[in-house]
Amino acid sequence: MENAIVIDHLKRIYTPRMGVFRRTTKKIIAVDDISFNVKTVSCLGFWAYWRW
């Protein structure tokens, strides 16, 4: 079966800016090194669900 969506090594880091001079004080790691696949049949199921 074919994969419709393939995500490898996803990483998302937020750097909030605080204070008067909008300096970055720390990093917030939301996602670190996640990989997943969504098969074609699963995408069809998502589409049918949201269509209603």
pLDDT at position 9:
94
Per-residue pLDDT reduced to its tens digit, 26-48 = 899 999 999 988 887 766 665 55
pTM equals 0.53
pLDDT at 52 over 70: no
Three-state secondary structure call for residue 46: helix
Q: Which residue has the higher pLDDT, 14 or 45?
A: 14
What's the number of CA atoms in the CB half-sphere (13 Å) around residue 20? 0
The alpha carbon of 1 is separated from its chain's Cα centroid by a whole number of angstroms, namely 23
Average pLDDT over residues 2-30: 87
pLDDT at 12 over 90: yes
Residue 29's domain spans which residues? Answer: 3-51
- Provide the number of structural domains found in the chain: 1
Where are the alpha helices (H) located in 1-52, listed in sequence order? 40-51
pLDDT at position 19:
77
Give the Cα separation of 8 and 11 in Å (integer). 9
